[in-house]
Amino acid sequence: MQDIGRAQAPIGVFDSGVGGLTVAAEIMRQLPNERMVYFGDTARVPYGSKSKDTVIRFSRQIIRYLKTWNVKAIVVACNTASALALPEIQKELDIPIIGVIEPGAMVAAASTKNGKIGIIGTEGTINSHIHTRLIKEQNSSFEVTEKACPLFVPLVEEGLFLDTPVVDTIAGHYLDIMKEKDVDTLILGCTHYPFLRETIGKVMGDRVRLVNPAYETARALGNLLKEQGIASEESPHDKEKQYIFSVSDEVQKLYQFAKNRFPFPVENALQINIEEY
Ligand code: DGL
């Protein structure tokens, strides 16, 4: 049954920084009636090299913050937090929560032709081996090659992802193993990586399918909201309040980043002292 009151509440979306904007953009495209509160932990990025306990603590603080907006569901738009914190925090929540790992792993398993799948992500995500476990559950004969690419996140956070020689060299170095192993499907297992898609695509060549879990995550969210009877069926009347963007470091950096790289306007963003939550 449709719960009209809850349907009007926003979705909370969070990441360690600006990477989750790739997921936010997909949600905005696919679910245009939904409201959203985005939080990027720009003061504490990167999460990829932090311990599991720290990522869980940060995620709990962010969820407490998002709940002050009375969110109806949460999307963990960060692979590292999805790998390290989601299994723990979903037990503590009374609202639906989804991460980005399962949707990406499922689509990769369904699309490979030669059974050879690559996964790139942060050290935290790769060391959790969670993608490999999910893919092997689909078909135990699939061969999965994992590679942590710790320099990719700072390149994106610094806005350094256009066709520059330094990005080409780093991408070539990280992706060599994927070519050697002849993968035909490569999961961009970090929400920052779609910003490097052009370079990664150039290094891997046309034959390799790049999986951006953002698209599948937005689809999974849409299905979940419908199943739970909390999907918004009409466009919000106060359009200017439909999307709230918040970060833990200064907002100017977010504006600068979003200006050329995010397909929707980002205005009136909030700076939040997340340590208070
Ligand atoms: N964008 C995040 C992810 O998907 C994490 C990047 C980081 O903070 O290290 O894993």
Q: Which residues line ligand 1 (CB under 6 A)?
A: 15-17, 19, 45-48, 78-80, 121-122, 125, 153, 190-192
Output the pLDDT for position 161.
67
Q: 190 in the Ramachandran plot: left (φ > 0), alpha (ψ -120 to 50) or beta?
A: beta
Q: Which of 78, 144, 196, 231 is an active site residue?
A: 78
Output the pLDDT for position 249.
97
Atom in ligand 1 nearest the alpha carbon of residue 16: 8
Output the pLDDT for position 160.
74
Is 175 exposed, middle or buried, given 0-12, 13-18 or 19+ CB atoms closer than 10 A? buried
Q: For the chain, which ranges sit under pLDDT 50?
A: none
Ligand 1 pocket test: pick from 79, 131, 247, 249 the residue with the most ligand atoms within 8 Å of its Cβ: 79
- One-letter-per-residue 3-state SS of 108-141: HHHHCCCCEEEEEECHHHHHHCHHHHHHHHHCCC
- The H or E element spanning position 175 is helix 165-180
Ligand 1 geometric centre to CA of 44 (Å): 11
The DSSP letter of residue 50 is S
Q: Which of 190, 196, 203, 274 is an active site residue?
A: 190
Ligand 1 pocket test: pick from 14, 82, 98, 122 the residue with the most ligand atoms within 8 Å of its Cβ: 122
- The H or E element spanning position 138 is helix 130-138
Output the pLDDT for position 13.
98
Output the pLDDT for position 166.
87
Is the Cβ–Cβ distance between 78 and 16 less than 8 Å? Answer: yes
Ligand 1 pocket test: pick from 76, 80, 86, 100 the residue with the most ligand atoms within 8 Å of its Cβ: 80
Ligand 1 geometric centre to CA of 158 (Å): 14
Ligand 1 geometric centre to CA of 81 (Å): 8
Ligand 1 geometric centre to CA of 122 (Å): 6
Output the pLDDT for position 238.
85
Q: Mention every residue, 6+ apart, whose C-beta is less than 8 A from residue 168.
A: 199, 202, 203
Ligand 1 geometric centre to CA of 78 (Å): 5
Active site residue 149: no
Active site residue 190: yes
Atom in ligand 1 nearest the alpha carbon of residue 19: 1
The DSSP letter of residue 146 is E
Ligand 1 geometric centre to CA of 30 (Å): 23
